[in-house]
Amino acid sequence: MSENHALLTVDQVEAGASIPELSYDVTATTVVLGALASRDFRPMHHDRDFAQIRNGVQDIFLNTPNQAAWFERYLTDWTGPKGRLGRIKFRMKDSVFPGETMTFSGKVEQVSTDETGCAWVDLAVNLSVGERQVTDCSARIAVPKDESDNPWKRKNEQWKP
């Protein structure tokens, strides 16, 4: 389980750097819990017969909102609690099924400061199962400039995600 006590500041981040990977063994419980936690009651996320017959896939599979939650957890594990997501975009190419090990990996693409003084890190994040690329994600997350800064305190015109 993530402990999230990191306190990343922007001076510790460089474009081109990789962030630590996260691997997780997915079970049927992972899929069903994720679907119901996100109030996604569609049967392909809890009914294997439906997933196989109607969707033509091998099993139930991780739903989109829960994948978003996994991406958020992955990124804030890295930044710590002061990391504040501004924007996330993902494209699903394949699915994650019970019995598979999913792996999140990420690379810093850009480090910048906007006109309000907010420090941003843009990352390319990937979710894969073995050699299979499942979901590509790009994320923009605000991190503190220094230990006294806190992106969560930004409001209105000071927050430009």
| CB atoms closer than 10 angstroms to residue 135 | 23
- DSSP letter assigned to residue 5: -
76 or 128: whose CB is closer to other proteins?
76
16 or 148: whose CB is closer to other proteins?
148
Packing angle, helices 64-79 and 28-37, rounded to 10 = 90
For residue 138, with 0-12 CB atoms within 10 Å meaning exposed, 13-18 middle and 19 or more buried, which class applies?
middle
14 or 49: whose CB is closer to other proteins?
49
71 or 97: whose CB is closer to other proteins?
71
Q: How far is the CB of 157 from other proteins (least distance, A)?
A: 12
Write phi, then psi, for 73 (nearest 5 degrees).
Answer: -60, -45
Q: How far is the CB of 70 from other proteins (least distance, A)?
A: 5
**Binding stretches for other proteins (CB under 8 A):** 1-5, 24, 30, 33-34, 36-41, 64-66, 68-73, 76-77, 81-82, 84-92, 150, 152-153, 155, 159, 161
Q: What is the rounded CA–CA span in Å between residue 71 and residue 131?
A: 19
Q: How far is the CB of 57 from other proteins (least distance, A)?
A: 12
